C-alpha cells in the first residue's frame, strides 16, 4: 500500500513535540526536564527539507481546565465555516482558469502571477528571506499561506500583516536565527 507524501507529513506533524519530555512550553505545573543539547538533538531529527514541506509549524501550550471554561470572544464554528467557504470561492475564482482550486496547488513559478502584494509586504518578505535564510520552498510556502490569510480576510492582495502572520507559522525557521 502506498501513501502520498503529503498524508505522511500530516501524520508526522501530529507527533511533533518541542522536546523529548513533551513539556517544552510547560504549563506552570510541569516543567521541561530536557537539557538544551537534548532539545537541539531532538529537533534535528527532522531534516530541513522535510520541515520545508510543513506549512504550519506552531507550538500549542497545554490548556488548563479553567481556560476551557472561559469564552473570550471566540468565533462560532458557523462564522468560521462561512469565512473559509468564502475564501475557497475566492481562490477558485482566481485559479480556475489555470486548472487549480486552492492556493496550495499553485506552483512556485506561478506564485508571482497570483500573489498581488503591497510594497510593504514585498519588503518584509525579502527581509525575512534574507534574515531567516529561508529556502525557496519555504519562501513559496510562506507566500501561499499569506495569500490564504488574505483570502480569509476577504482581501484582494497580500498586505504586510498577512505576510507577518504567515511567517509566525514558520516556527522552525524562526528558531534558526
pLDDT in tens, 46-102: 666 666 667 777 776 677 777 777 767 778 899 999 999 999 999 999 999 999 999
Residue 70 lies in a domain: no
Q: Nearest to residue 170, comparing CAs of 1, 3, 55, 34? A: 55
List, for residues 143-153, the tens digit of each pLDDT value.
999 999 999 99
CB 137 within 8 A of CB 23: no
96 and 170 fall within a common domain: yes
What CATH number is attached to the domain comprising 95? 1.10.8.60
25 and 98 fall within a common domain: no
List, for residues 106-136, the tens digit of each pLDDT value.
999 999 899 899 999 999 999 998 998 888 8
31 and 86 fall within a common domain: no
Domain count, the chain: 2
The cell for 34 is 530536557
Q: What letter would DSSP give residue 63?
A: P
CB 157 within 8 A of CB 118: yes
Domain that holds residue 141: 77-174
CB 143 within 8 A of CB 125: yes
Distances in Å between the Cα of 145 and the Cα atoms of 22, 54, 77 are 27, 11, 21
118 and 170 fall within a common domain: yes
Residue 23 lies in a domain: yes
Amino acid at each position: 500500500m502506498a501513501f502520498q507524501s503529503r498524508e505522511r507529513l500530516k501524520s508526522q506533524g501530529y507527533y511533533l513535540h518541542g522536546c523529548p519530555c513533551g513539556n517544552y512550553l510547560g504549563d506552570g505545573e510541569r516543567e521541561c526536564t530536557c537539557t538544551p543539547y537534548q532539545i537541539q538533538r531532538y529537533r534535528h531529527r527532522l531534516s530541513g527539507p522535510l520541515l520545508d514541506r510543513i506549512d504550519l509549524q506552531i507550538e500549542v501550550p497545554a490548556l488548563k481546565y479553567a481556560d476551557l471554561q472561559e469564552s473570550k470572544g471566540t468565533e462560532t464554528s458557523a462564522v468560521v465555516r462561512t469565512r473559509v467557504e468564502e475564501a475557497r470561492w475566492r481562490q477558485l475564482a482566481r485559479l480556475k482558469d489555470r486548472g487549480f482550486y486552492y492556493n496550495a496547488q499553485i506552483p512556485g513559478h506561478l506564485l508571482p502571477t497570483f500573489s498581488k502584494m503591497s510594497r510593504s509586504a514585498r519588503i518584509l518578505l525579502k527581509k525575512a528571506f534574507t534574515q531567516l535564510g529561508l529556502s525557496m520552498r519555504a519562501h513559496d510556502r510562506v507566500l501561499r499561506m499569506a495569500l490564504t490569510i488574505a483570502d480569509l480576510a476577504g482581501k484582494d492582495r497580500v498586505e504586510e500583516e498577512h505576510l507577518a502572520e504567515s511567517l509566525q507559522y514558520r516556527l522552525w525557521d524562526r528558531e534558526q536565527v
